[in-house]
Structure 1
Amino acid sequence: MAIKWFDSLPPRSITSFDDLTKKFFARFSIRKGKTKHAPSLLGIKQGDREKPPKLHGKIQQACLDIQNLPTEAAIMGLINGLREGPFSHSISKKHPTSLNEVQERAEKYINMEENSRLGETSKTIFAYPSQDKDKEARK
Structure 2
Amino acid sequence: MGGPGGCHLFPGTLQGYALEWFAKLPEKSIQDYADLKKKFIAQFVQQKKRQRSHLEAHLIKQRESESLRNFITGYTEECQKIPGLPESQQVSGFTLALLPGELQDELSKRIPLTFQEAIDKAFDFIRSKETTSLVRGIAKKEKFGRGLASEEHKEEHLDREERFQQYIKDISIVNLVKCPRDLLNTETVCTTFKPPSPMAFKSGKKNMNQYCEFHEDHGHDTNAYRQLKWEIKRALDEGKLEHLVPGAKQTRKTFAWQRKVVEEDDDPGEPEVHVYMVHE
Give me the TM-score of the superposition, normalised by structure 2: 0.40
Aligned-partner Cα distance in 2 for 1:79–1:133: 51
Deviation (angstroms), 1:131:
5.7
* 1:123–1:20 distance in 2 versus 1, CA, 3 Å: farther
Aligned-partner Cα distance in 2 for 1:24–1:12: 16
Higher mean C-alpha displacement, 97-106 vs 53-62: 53-62
Q: Name the counterpart of 2:73.
A: 57
Aligned-partner Cα distance in 2 for 1:99–1:21: 32
Q: Answer yes or no: is the 8 Å Cα contact 1:30–1:65 preserved in 2.
A: no
Give the paired residue count. 135
Deviation (angstroms), 1:119:
0.6
Q: Name the counterpart of 2:100.
A: 84
Pair 1:71-2:87 in alignment: yes
**Which one has the bigger helix percentage?**
1
Gaps of 5+ in 1: none
Q: Name the counterpart of 2:29.
A: 14
Q: Give 3-state SS (helix, strand or coil) of 2:77's partner.
A: helix
Pair 1:45-2:66 in alignment: no
Pair 1:99-2:115 in alignment: yes
Q: Name the counterpart of 2:142.
A: 126
Q: Residue 142 of structure 2 aligns to which amino acid in structure 1?
A: F
Aligned-partner Cα distance in 2 for 1:17–1:122: 60
Deviation (angstroms), 1:16:
4.0
Aligned-partner Cα distance in 1 for 2:45–2:87: 20
Aligned-partner Cα distance in 2 for 1:64–1:105: 20
Show CA shifts across 1:58-104 (max 9, x none).
33333333333221111111111011011111111100111111111
Show CA shifts across 1:45-64 (max 9, x none).
01113233433333333333
Match of 2:126 among 97, 100, 110: 110
Higher mean C-alpha displacement, 89-98 vs 24-33: 24-33
Q: Give 3-state SS (helix, strand or coil) of 2:74's partner.
A: helix
* 1:71–1:89 distance in 2 versus 1, CA, 3 Å: same
Q: Name the counterpart of 1:34.
A: 50
Q: Residue 128 of structure 2 aligns to which amino acid in structure 1?
A: M
* 1:114–1:123 distance in 2 versus 1, CA, 3 Å: same
Q: Give 3-state SS (helix, strand or coil) of 2:64's partner.
A: coil
* 1:87–1:100 distance in 2 versus 1, CA, 3 Å: same
Task: Flag the structure with larger Rg.
Answer: 2
* 1:26–1:63 distance in 2 versus 1, CA, 3 Å: farther
Aligned-partner Cα distance in 2 for 1:124–1:32: 57
Higher mean C-alpha displacement, 84-93 vs 31-40: 31-40
Give me the TM-score of the superposition, normalised by structure 1: 0.73
**Larger RCO: 1 or 2 (CA < 8 Å, sep 6+):** 1
Aligned-partner Cα distance in 2 for 1:47–1:28: 28
Q: Residue 14 of structure 1 aligns to which amino acid in structure 2?
A: S
